[in-house]
Amino acid sequence: MTPRESLDAGRQILDPILNPRGFLFRETGTGKGSGGDFASGQYEKGNRFIELHFRYSLGLVKYHIGALAIRHEDYMRSLLGTSGGNKYPGFSNDPIDEFRNLSFDLETFSIDFLAGAGEEFLRCVKISEAREKQTGVSKVSEFES
């Protein structure tokens, strides 16, 4: 499958979760870069959107509300702590599994972003930004506790 075909297949998994909540998909790019063929798009609703980038598998997933943005991994770590419970990113030989993993995380953990006031999202962005300001030693100690 081409990246565009894979992204379309992933949409078949994500549309049933995102469309009923008012998010609509828009393709933002396809082409060939230095790392190979790629496809990208985003689900949009008002000032909220979820960026998706696919090359050989689902790569960057990033959430936005207005000027605030956070990568999926940072969102889940800020929301769930280091023990997690989220499924994306996972490790599978089937690149479409990553869309299944993301759909689980969206339905299970991201309701505030999808349909809420965004207060939990804002809290997670602040936690992530504070973590980024930490020095290397304090970042490492976070994973040791």
Tell me the pLDDT band of 67, cut-offs 50, 70 and 90: very high
Q: Rounded to two decimals, what is the model's pTM?
A: 0.89
User: For residue 143, what pLDDT is reported?
Assistant: 47
Chain centroid to Cα 97, Å, comes to: 14
Helix axes of 119-133 and 72-80: crossing angle, nearest 10 degrees: 100
pLDDT in tens, 48-59: 999 999 999 999
Is the pLDDT confidence value at 137 over 60?
no
User: For residue 145, what pLDDT is reported?
Assistant: 45
Is the pLDDT confidence value at 139 over 60?
no
High-pLDDT (> 70) share of the chain, %: 92
Distance CA 27, CA 4 (A): 9
Chain centroid to Cα 64, Å, comes to: 10
